[in-house]
Amino acid sequence: MHLTLEFGGGLELLLEKSTKVHKVDCQPTMDGSEGGKATMKGLLSWVKSNLIKERPEMFIKGDSVRPGVLVLINDCDWELCGGLDAELEDKDVVVFISTLHGG
């Protein structure tokens, strides 16, 4: 599945070379298999394992994003899409914005 991931509000600092936009090919199911449903929960696990290079606690708390990190799926608040259970489709754009960083 091809997804575009965007990190903002300072979250990009946790990623390699502080890159904001990542076009990834991944299978964000909970067990990584081809057959399961791709959900935000699986994606968070994948991002934590594959993209976050430092201070993962700034991004993840328990199974979810850390409170204070906003998530948009195709420019829609993930709280309207089912949150962790939101299903992802090919070519979705997922944006993570931190409200925790800042001068």
Partner 1 sequence: MQSAPSTRAGSRLCVRCGERKAALKRPKTLEQICRECFYVVFEDEIHRTIVDNCLFKPGERVAIGASGGKDSTVLAYVLSELNNRHKYGLDLFLLSIDEGITGYRDDSLETVKRNEIQYGLPLKIVSYKDLYDWTMDDIVKAIGLKNNCTFCGVFRRQALDRGAALLKVDKIVTGHNADDIAETVLLNILRGDIARLSRCTFITTGEDGPIPRCKPFKYTYEKEIVMYAYFKKLDYFSTECIYSPNAYRGFAREFIKDLERMRPRAILDIITSGENFRISTTTKMPEQGTCERCGYISSQKLCKACVLLDGLNRGLPKLGIGRTTKGGAGADGNGERPGKQKERNRSSLQGKHGNFDF
Positions touching partner 1 (CB under 8 A) are: 8-10, 13, 66-68, 70, 72-77, 79-82, 85-87, 95, 97-103
Cβ atoms < 10 Å from Cβ of 94: 23
* Residue closer to partner 1 (CB basis): 50 or 80: 80
CA distances (Å), origin 43, targets 39, 55, 69, 102, 103: 6, 18, 15, 25, 29
Least distance from partner 1 to the Cβ atom of residue 73, Å: 5
* Residue closer to partner 1 (CB basis): 29 or 98: 98
Q: Going by C-beta distance under 8 Å and a sequence separation of 6 or more, which residues neighbour residue 72?
A: 78, 94, 95, 97
Beta bridge partners of 76: 73
* Residue closer to partner 1 (CB basis): 1 or 81: 81
Least distance from partner 1 to the Cβ atom of residue 89, Å: 8
Length of the chain as a residue count: 103
* Residue closer to partner 1 (CB basis): 32 or 80: 80
